[in-house]
Amino acid sequence: MSDINGSNKLKQDIINKAKEMGANIIGFASVDRWDEFKETSPEYFPQNIWPETKSIIVLGIQIFLPMLETTPSIVYSELYNTTNRLLDETAYKLANYLNTLGHRAFYFPRDGYGDISILVKKPAAAFSHVLAGKYAGLGTIGYNHTLLTKEFGPRVRLVSVLTDAVIEPDELLNKDLCIKCEMCKRCCPASVYTTTETLIANMDKKKCAEYHSKLKDAYAYPCGVCIKVCPIGEDRKIYGNNAKKYLNEKQALATCEGIEEYAGWIHARNHGSKEVKSE
């Protein structure tokens, strides 16, 4: 009983600490789930990356929808960079906190690649925070390959802490959050999604990375359209969901008909970055 109480206290202490440092959502997974589901090759299992791993703690920080909606722009680019910095700092401090309690721990960086040009040639990272988030009960994987959460849909950035502490895992979500509306497919500026039959789309990851490389050269990286248009997430209760505006954007900008509705987005795109032409 004392071991159970001690584990529960550690878990609650970690939750409190992470939220104090700015994490919006936090979940816990056991390494057993990678073996159980086998949704990736064994070399990507956390226990094979660091054999001492017993638990994975996944932290998420929200992406503000009004800033995301301006994409591609310096406004969204700066938001992306800020959330990345906060994630790594929060994960670092949490791993350090676990060290002070006598547990071995470290964080796996939220992206895990040096430059987008690397993903063009090698479109895979060493560790999937999306899978970790799923196994930590934070959400389910959607058509666009992102983790969909109840709180923010896919508008959340993730990072993981690997530790030898044994922590009770959170329950998995038993129902897919993705409603397969295919808004991400219809609005994708690079047309990277190629199927309609499966819940998770076949995706041309190289083509996606090439488009991101183009945005990086324009100082308007990353894209984010697939998470911008997704209707899932309680953040929609605050910001709303104008699907018609998303779907009509390309035509409106091409013909300048009804362009007033997009004036704020255009304004953000016209400052601080180069012009990005449609594919």
pLDDT (tens, 9 = 90+) of the chain, 279 residues, equals 445 566 789 999 999 999 999 999 999 999 999 999 999 999 999 999 999 999 999 999 999 999 999 999 999 999 999 999 999 999 999 999 999 999 999 999 987 777 788 888 887 889 999 999 999 999 999 999 999 999 999 999 999 999 999 999 999 999 999 999 999 999 999 999 988 788 999 999 999 999 999 999 999 999 999 999 999 999 999 999 999 999 999 999 999 999 999 999 999 999 999 988 765
How far is C-alpha 177 from the geometric centre of its chain's CA atoms? 15
241 secondary structure, DSSP code:
-
Residue 154: is the preceding peptide bond cis (ω within 30°)? no
Domain of residue 86: give its range.
1-279
Cβ burial, residue 221 (10 Å; 0-12/13-18/19+): buried
CA distance 203 to 206: 9
Q: Where are the alpha helices (DSSP H) in the chain?
A: 2-20, 32-37, 46-49, 65-68, 74-100, 116-121, 129-135, 183-187, 205-217, 225-228, 236-239, 243-255, 263-269
Contacts of 137 (CB under 8 A, 6+ apart): 27, 28, 29, 169, 170, 171, 172, 173
Q: Side by side, which strands form the sheet with 25-30?
A: 25-30, 55-62, 156-163, 105-108
Q: Is the pTM of this model over 0.85?
A: yes
What total number of domains does the chain contain? 1
CA distance 178 to 28: 22
Residue 222: is the preceding peptide bond cis (ω within 30°)? yes
208 in Cβ contact with 279 (< 8 Å): no
CA distance 201 to 197: 8
